[in-house]
């Protein structure tokens, strides 16, 4: 059933090099990955700045007894410099006490504060949180991509970075600092976000191989969902005033010709291979289209299989609410309910991380 559905969507071939040669080995895949990165940068996210930068962090404030004494909570100002430019933003880092090198969630957030209840749940599970309010990196409105981190790269109307790539680049700069300066487990840093920030988490984690896990929640169109035969949001909707800013200009040359996109979102997901990936969907989120997200996971799995690893492990059936699929390197769950990042989503991702030790 899944295979037939994928065949009917006529997706571009994941395991073929641009020369037409089949991808049969992990070495072939490494080449293919490079091609896909180029393709997606040129046609979808846009290229990030090519300037070399230095990242430094300054602890502005440290609460040694956060969360009733359970965690150290720092406010860190990140300073990023190139030879021509300078950018800065701050983020929160909460680390559970008593864990020498805790694994971490780099959480792309819609608010500047980590909610107390959410923070406590995550810290009690033994994970640290580096939480950044996305608009502190670059604003989410039309500014010709000139403010915040946008100033590192002059925007052209074709292939320079859209906002997703700018925010993702900021997440990578946070990682520069966290891996150098803070006592976190370098092999266990996940990047996670919801909705447009789920798209951003994919743009960060699928490209930056230092993330051990990439998690998107309800990321939908321009995120984990396949575009071909997708329900709900289409490329034409993403061309709306707000979301148009998130992508590079070339992406919208596919307006009203989705079938001609030279990629689909399984290309993006497969970039994570052989690292872990986790996609969360919600049953009533028809705008995002849970089925298109699920199918993209299935379509990305062959990249894992080249490494002898299971991608998405599922029966040949649509996923059921409340029956998470945790047995493969691609984890997936369908939550009952609407577009939202909820308790159930966090709990499932934590349990997946515990299970795999990532
Ligand atoms: C809109 C948009 C989605 C996006 C969401 C969000 O619904 O159409 O693509 O994911 O906003 O980020 O809130």
Write out the DSSP string of 207-259. Answer: T-TT-SEEEEES--TTTTS-STT--S--HHHHTSTTGGGGS-GGGGGGTT-GG
Is 94 within 8 Å of 71 (Cβ atoms)? Answer: yes
Question: What is the three-class DSSP state of 143?
Answer: coil
Q: Is 221 in the pocket of ligand 1 (CB under 6 A)?
A: yes
- Residue among 196, 223, 230, 242 to mutate when testing ligand 1 (max atoms within 8 A of CB): 196
- C-alpha to C-alpha distance for 319 and 5, rounded to whole angstroms: 14
User: Residue 59 above 90 pLDDT?
Assistant: yes
- Residue among 201, 216, 220 to mutate when testing ligand 1 (max atoms within 8 A of CB): 220
Q: Which helix (H) or strand (E) holds 302?
A: helix 290-305
DSSP characters over 67-102: HHHTEEEEEEEEEEE-SS-EEEEEEEEEEETT-SS-
- C-alpha to C-alpha distance for 336 and 298, rounded to whole angstroms: 21
- C-alpha to C-alpha distance for 354 and 231, rounded to whole angstroms: 33
Ligand 1 atom with the smallest distance to the CA of 198 is: 10
User: Residue 98 above 90 pLDDT?
Assistant: no
Average pLDDT across the chain, whole number: 97
Q: Is 281 in the pocket of ligand 1 (CB under 6 A)?
A: no
Using the CB atoms, write b or e for 39-56: b if 16+ within 10 Å.
Answer: ebbbbbbbbbbeeebebe
- C-alpha to C-alpha distance for 60 and 41, rounded to whole angstroms: 35
100-148, pLDDT tens digit by residue?
A: 999 999 999 999 999 899 999 999 999 999 999 999 999 999 999 999 9
Is 126 within 8 Å of 103 (Cβ atoms)? Answer: yes
Q: Is 198 in the pocket of ligand 1 (CB under 6 A)?
A: no
Q: Cα(277) to centroid of ligand 1, in Å?
A: 21
229-281, pLDDT tens digit by residue?
A: 999 999 999 999 999 999 999 999 999 999 999 999 999 999 999 999 999 99
Q: Is 216 in the pocket of ligand 1 (CB under 6 A)?
A: no
42-58, pLDDT tens digit by residue?
A: 999 999 999 999 999 99
- Residue among 243, 251, 339 to mutate when testing ligand 1 (max atoms within 8 A of CB): 243
Ligand 1 atom with the smallest distance to the CA of 237 is: 8
Q: Is 9 in the pocket of ligand 1 (CB under 6 A)?
A: no
Give the pLDDT confidence score for residue 346 in this predicted structure.
98
CA 185 to chain centre: 19
DSSP state of 45: I
Q: Cα(220) to centroid of ligand 1, in Å?
A: 8
- Tokens standing for 34? 């490079």
Give the torsion through C-alpha atoms of 260, 169, 304, 180, to 10 deg: 170
DSSP state of 283: T
152-183, pLDDT tens digit by residue?
A: 998 899 999 999 999 999 999 999 999 999 99
Q: Is 290 in the pocket of ligand 1 (CB under 6 A)?
A: no
185-236, pLDDT tens digit by residue?
A: 999 999 999 999 999 999 999 999 999 999 999 999 999 999 999 999 999 9
Using the CB atoms, write b or e for 86-111: b if 16+ within 10 Å.
Answer: ebebbbbbbbbeebeebbbbbbbbee
Is 190 within 8 Å of 72 (Cβ atoms)? Answer: no
Identify any residues that bridge with 191 across adjacent strands, giving them in sequence order.
106, 214
Give the pLDDT confidence score for residue 169 in this predicted structure.
98
């Amino acid at each position: 059933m899944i295979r037939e559905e994928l065949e009917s969507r006529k997706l571009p071939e994941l395991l073929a090099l641009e020369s037409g040669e089949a991808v049969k080995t992990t070495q072939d895949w490494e080449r293919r990955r490079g091609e896909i990165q180029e393709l997606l940068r040129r046609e979808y996210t846009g290229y990030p700045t090519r300037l070399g930068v230095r990242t430094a962090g300054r602890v502005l404030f440290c609460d040694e007894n956060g969360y009733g004494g359970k965690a150290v909570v720092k406010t860190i100002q990140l300073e990023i410099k190139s030879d021509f430019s300078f950018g800065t933003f701050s983020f929160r880092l909460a680390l559970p006490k008593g864990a020498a090198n805790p694994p971490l969630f780099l959480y792309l957030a819609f608010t500047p504060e980590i909610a107390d209840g959410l923070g406590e749940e995550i810290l009690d599970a033994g994970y640290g949180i580096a939480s950044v309010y996305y608009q502190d990196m670059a604003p989410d409105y039309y500014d010709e991509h000139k403010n915040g981190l946008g100033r590192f790269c002059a925007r052209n109307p074709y292939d320079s970075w859209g906002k997703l790539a700018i925010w993702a680049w900021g997440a990578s700069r946070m990682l520069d600092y966290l891996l150098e300066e803070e006592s976190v487990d370098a092999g266990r840093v996940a990047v996670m976000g919801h909705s447009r920030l789920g798209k951003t988490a994919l743009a960060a984690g699928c490209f930056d191989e230092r993330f051990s896990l990439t998690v998107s929640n309800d990321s939908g169109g321009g995120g984990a969902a396949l575009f071909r035969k997708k329900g709900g949001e289409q490329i034409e909707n993403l061309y709306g005033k707000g979301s148009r800013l998130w992508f590079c200009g070339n992406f919208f040359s596919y307006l009203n010709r989705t079938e001609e996109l030279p990629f689909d979102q399984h290309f993006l997901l497969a970039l994570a291979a052989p690292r872990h990936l986790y996609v969360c969907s919600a049953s009533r989120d028809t705008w995002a289209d849970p089925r298109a997200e699920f199918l993209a996971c299935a379509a990305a799995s062959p990249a894992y299989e080249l490494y002898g690893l299971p991608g998405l492990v599922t029966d040949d059936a649509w996923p059921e609410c409340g029956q998470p699929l945790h047995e493969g390197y691609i984890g997936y769950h369908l939550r009952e309910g609407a577009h939202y990042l909820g308790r159930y989503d966090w709990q499932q991702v934590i349990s997946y991380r515990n299970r795999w030790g990532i």
